[in-house]
Amino acid sequence: MFAVPRIEYGEKALESLKNDNFGRVLVFTDKNLRKLGYLEYLIPNLNAEKIEVFDEIEGEPDVRLALKCSEFARNFDPEVIIALGGGSVIDLAKFARIGMEVNVEPKEVKVKLNLRALGFKKKAKLIAVPTTSGSGADATLAVMLKEGNSKISAIHFEFIPDMTILDYRLVEKMPKRLVASTGIDALAHAIEAYLTKLHNELSDLFALRATELILSNLEKSYDGDLKARAIMHLSATMAGIAINNSQLGAVHALAHAFGTAFSVDHSLSIAVFLPKVLEAYIPDQRLEELSNRLGFRSSAEFVKRIEELIKNLPLPSKASELVKEDLPSKLEPLVDSAMKDLSFRFAPKALSREEVMEIFREAF
Ligand SMILES: [Fe+2]
């Protein structure tokens, strides 16, 4: 099985919606995007009976907000749900599409849950319109939510949007810090998808091409090159498709543990751990193969290029740039939580407890 949403992409990709007639349309977005006029790119293309906008989405999405979005959707009863925003908005819309029909706690939604038996009929079509280029949320079956002090992930094939629209105009004015941080997350997705134990011929295609494109376009996109920014937008979804079909690895496991423990943004945590974890994999045959296919003479040379990229953007390379807390008291629980993370088991090489501890020590 290889799951991919229908993808419309290009300069004015949102205009492809004009070819359809919709009934009731519910748009999820956030207040900031609304204020910046992003709805103007979308709404004029919709032939709809009724359009409702829910914009009360801010900060990190949590379980309470996911249930609120579901309730709003249940009351409005849409035929189409459109998520216009970054990964958080898309994740909440993905949950609401199921939550509007089935009364279920996010943590109960796992791949094998029989939603149809619970009455799910997939009444609403889900369209993702990403406004950042990194999360890959528009192509994946996972929904990440905060619950108390921890992160939970709800996972189901029914979360995968039916369609994703990559309209390049929406990322032209993206703040540079977001270009950098979401871009490094996309790069980590592409690399981890290539390295994971679950990689396959199809995911390799997307992972390898996305890695190549991101390596040669992220800095240019950061500097304002709009052609490079358009390529980054497409590449982020390609990397999302790759992880959706082959999973992640220890970079994400350590970044999840660190980000949750210190409330640090996902992408910034990734910037800190990407080169360090790859370095810990060396020697690894799969990493060597990827490095060679990308034109590097060795894995070490490839990791050096990533370190240089992180400096150029500029993104943090040390955890101490992000948190002022002391590491020792949190070291043991950090290692525990990284090694318990689902992604950890898919790493190309099983890192020992001592190795994971060493990466955290080095990061601080
Ligand atoms: Fe990520």
How many angstroms is it from 363 CA to the middle of ligand 1? 18
How many angstroms is it from 47 CA to the middle of ligand 1? 35
| Alpha helix stretches (DSSP H) within 196-225 | 201-222
How many angstroms is it from 269 CA to the middle of ligand 1? 9
How many angstroms is it from 185 CA to the middle of ligand 1? 5
Sheet of 47-54: strand order equals 6-10, 163-167, 125-130, 80-85, 21-28, 47-54
Q: What is the pTM of this model?
A: 0.96
Q: Considering the chain, what is the average pLDDT of its residues? A: 96
How many angstroms is it from 117 CA to the middle of ligand 1? 32
pLDDT average, residue stretch 1-17: 96
How many angstroms is it from 243 CA to the middle of ligand 1? 9
* pLDDT tens figures, 159-182: 999 999 999 999 999 999 999 999
Does residue 136 come out as left (phi exceeding 0), alpha (psi in the -120 to 50 range) or beta?
left
What superfamily does domain 176-363 belong to in CATH? Dehydroquinate synthase-like - alpha domain (1.20.1090.10)
CA distance 298 to 278: 12
How many angstroms is it from 177 CA to the middle of ligand 1? 16
* pLDDT tens figures, 186-229: 999 999 999 999 999 999 999 999 999 999 999 999 999 999 99
How many angstroms is it from 49 CA to the middle of ligand 1? 37
* pLDDT tens figures, 264-276: 999 999 999 999 9
Share of the chain above pLDDT 90, in %: 94
How many angstroms is it from 343 CA to the middle of ligand 1? 11
How many angstroms is it from 190 CA to the middle of ligand 1? 10
pLDDT at 128: 98
Grouping H, G, I as helix, E, B as strand and the rest as coil, residue 318 is coil
How many angstroms is it from 103 CA to the middle of ligand 1? 28
How many angstroms is it from 235 CA to the middle of ligand 1? 14
How many angstroms is it from 266 CA to the middle of ligand 1? 7
How many angstroms is it from 195 CA to the middle of ligand 1? 15
CA atoms lying within 13 Å on the CB side of residue 137? 28
Per the structure block, which two tokens stand in for 51?
A: 């359009």
How many angstroms is it from 347 CA to the middle of ligand 1? 15
Grouping H, G, I as helix, E, B as strand and the rest as coil, residue 265 is coil
pLDDT at 229: 98
How many angstroms is it from 137 CA to the middle of ligand 1? 9
* pLDDT tens figures, 87-134: 999 999 999 999 999 999 999 999 999 999 999 999 999 999 999 999
CA distance 215 to 85: 24
pLDDT at 330: 83
Q: Do the bridges between strand 125-130 and strand 150-155 make them parallel or antiparallel, or are there none, so unpaired?
A: unpaired
* pLDDT tens figures, 211-220: 999 999 999 9
Q: Which segments of the chain belong to CATH 3.40.50.1970?
A: 6-170
CA distance 340 to 327: 19
67 vs 103, 113, 258, CA distance in Å?
9, 18, 26
* pLDDT tens figures, 51-77: 999 999 988 899 999 999 999 999 999
Q: Which segments of the chain belong to CATH 1.20.1090.10?
A: 176-363
76 vs 15, 18, 23, 43, CA distance in Å?
25, 23, 12, 18
- Class of CATH domain 6-170: alpha beta
